[in-house]
Structure 1
Amino acid sequence: MKRILMVAGALLLIVGGMLPANAKADTTIDEKLGVPIVVMGANLTDAEKESVKKSLKVEENAEVEEITVDGNDLVKYIKGGNSQARMYSSAKITRQDEGKGLVINIVTPDNITQVTNEMYATAMMTAGIVDAVVEVAAPKPVTGHSALVGIYKAYEVSGETLDTERTDVANDELNLATKFAKDSGIDQDKVAELLTEIKKEIADNKPATKEEVEKIVNDQLKKLNIELSEDDRQLLIDLMDRIRNLDIDFGKLSEQLSDMATTIKEKFGEIDPGFWDKVKQFFADLFDSIKSWFK
């Protein structure tokens, strides 16, 4: 038995050594793009802040800039926002070189209950935010809306200027997406697909009137086999008409979303496809050896 335990201990060391060393702390400060910005919800307790920092792996960065988002920021970026709103969802934003696109990662998925990676991505594109890795976290179940306001603030802190009309429309888009998923029972991924496809059509066909936008909306609802109430359908048409008037180029939105998985692999690395075959063979050889001891 002692011999088997010794082998088991050695086995753990060997397999650990076989794992690719991709997940390591980022100790380099990017002097061109700046350090990651961590945006904390103003209503977090000290213990909750520490929990969020752990989830966002703040300690793995050489330096970060930490800011707080509160109800006053909500009013600044969202028309009609409530300055007394409680803010819990938080985010870490790491700028990337132009053309890298968006990588969204909700690191506490059980605690962000209404907003998905794709919903954040489409709303951020509407607001004019591109080329960043955004990680979202919360210490307890929340909808996830305040993280978007925090992302807006982080961008302005880093020197960007956001159009408040665009951020307001982006917030309405996020609200509508979560409404469809919650009240209409539409799958969250299906909602994100619907918004993306409609905006692709707007970018490709450049509708000149609200009636043309309405046709695009109706066509996509039919294509994706999604049924909305008349009130919700009208809300969607009104939102997309506002987006049309913003004159945003959404032609590359779908491409960015489809490239999201690839971008994540590029940033965090992926295991060599042959790695697990090597592990499997190692175990097979080891067990054959162990069996031979008892013959």
Structure 2
Amino acid sequence: MRKITIAILALIVVAMLIPAGFSGEANSVVITYGETTHSNSAYKSTVDDFFKSQSNVNLNNAESKIIYASDVNKISGSISGKTYSSSQILSSALVDLNDNKNLQVSVDKSKITTITGDMYISALKSAGITAGHVYVTSPVSATGESALAGIMNSYEEATNVEIPETVKEAATDEIVTQAEIVDNSGVDADKLSKLVDDVKQDVSKDNVTDHNTIVNIINNYVQNNNINITNSDIENLANTIGQVQNVQGDVNHYKTQVNNFMSGNSTGGFSLDGLFAWINSFFSWS
């Protein structure tokens, strides 16, 4: 009787310790709909048809959320000065964590006009996201910039771990800067994305934070790969990549929390599997 009483008390303690809304299992599939898309049944149907055709996911079992203009503006407004109205949030994304060995992004190129899959991958890696399959589309033509907010929101929903605001801003700045350079300079988007990825690797490897040094690294890649962008573009890229490097402490903390969650630990740092095994031991009579 005493063992049972202690076990019941332990269960009560567990209930108090586990954060509200926490689940030991990830919501492995999450869809974020742009508010414009979600409010229009024809738009939503178009987006769902793309997700059904591209992924092996039963949408009825997926968690879904709406991304509002305020969600996007909270991150991007201070970066680019661009603000979106509620009628402009069209891009939608599906994140599938069942396929979590390598990060993959499938973009509906018939609708997403500016941001490529490689650009999303680069920005998501900057945020510490390295696994899962992401699908991005829109019911009508859209640049795809606003989809990043939805994708990051999906990862938060799927893992119950918040991405630090500094990290969100750095990843968003990377997407916005690349989109502006593609629009202004007409440079090939895939070449630009590879340039950014290569420079980030060099900067990370040597822990470079000096702006002028980053500018020199970019210039070397630009010249060696015959990429035609302006000095202003190079300055903007250097600022963006410098910002990514400056938030690596926050990125590493986020990655640790996600790894803990995916391995069965709560955000409080204790193992649920171990704790429930300990409780179960009270009922094991020899």
Q: TM-score, normalised by structure 2?
A: 0.70
- Distance in 2 (CA, whole Å) between partners of 1:96 and 1:136 is 17
Displacement of 1:131 in angstroms is 0.9
Displacement of 1:68 in angstroms is 0.5
Task: Kindly indicate whether the alpha-carbon contact (under 8 Å) linking 2:215 and 2:234 is maintained by their aligned counterparts in 1.
Answer: no
SS at match of 1:145: coil
Displacement of 1:191 in angstroms is 0.6
Percent identity of equivalent pairs = 25
Displacement of 1:140 in angstroms is 1.0
1:136 aligns with 2:147: no
Report the structure number with the largest CA radius of gyration.
1
SS at match of 2:241: helix
Q: What pairs up with 1:96-175 in 2 under 5 angstroms?
A: 96=98, 100-106=101-107, 108-158=108-158, 159-175=160-176
Task: Kindly indicate whether the alpha-carbon contact (under 8 Å) linking 1:39 and 1:90 is maintained by their aligned counterparts in 2.
Answer: yes
Per-residue CA distance 1:129-155 (angstroms, 9 max, x = gap): 221110011111111112111112112
Aligned length: 218
- Distance in 1 (CA, whole Å) between partners of 2:181 and 2:190 is 11
Task: Kindly indicate whether the alpha-carbon contact (under 8 Å) linking 1:169 and 1:242 is maintained by their aligned counterparts in 2.
Answer: yes
Per-residue CA distance 1:256-294 (angstroms, 9 max, x = gap): xxxxxxxxxxxxxxxxxxxxxxxxxxxxxxxxxxxxxxx
Distance 1:222 1:96, change over 3 A: farther
Task: Kindly indicate whether the alpha-carbon contact (under 8 Å) linking 2:99 and 2:133 is maintained by their aligned counterparts in 1.
Answer: no
Distance 1:104 1:232, change over 3 A: same
Task: Kindly indicate whether the alpha-carbon contact (under 8 Å) linking 2:187 and 2:229 is maintained by their aligned counterparts in 1.
Answer: no
Match of residue 190 from structure 2:
189
Match of residue 216 from structure 1:
217
SS at match of 2:43: helix
Which of 94, 97, 101 is the equivalent residue of 1:95?
A: 97
- Distance in 1 (CA, whole Å) between partners of 2:246 and 2:106 is 30
Task: Kindly indicate whether the alpha-carbon contact (under 8 Å) linking 1:36 and 1:95 is maintained by their aligned counterparts in 2.
Answer: yes
Distance 1:93 1:172, change over 3 A: same
Displacement of 1:199 in angstroms is 0.6
- Distance in 2 (CA, whole Å) between partners of 1:246 and 1:35 is 27
Residue type matched to 1:189 in 2?
Answer: D
- Structure 2 gaps, min length 5: 1-23, 252-286
Match of residue 53 from structure 1:
48
Task: Kindly indicate whether the alpha-carbon contact (under 8 Å) linking 2:164 and 2:250 is maintained by their aligned counterparts in 1.
Answer: no
Residue type matched to 1:47 in 2?
Answer: A
Q: TM-score, normalised by structure 1?
A: 0.68
- Distance in 2 (CA, whole Å) between partners of 1:161 and 1:202 is 26
Residue type matched to 1:39 in 2?
Answer: T
- Distance in 1 (CA, whole Å) between partners of 2:50 and 2:241 is 35
Per-residue CA distance 1:20-47 (angstroms, 9 max, x = gap): xxxxxxxxxxx84323111111012111
Match of residue 70 from structure 1:
68
Displacement of 1:182 in angstroms is 2.0
Match of residue 30 from structure 2:
37
SS at match of 2:146: helix
Match of residue 176 from structure 1:
177
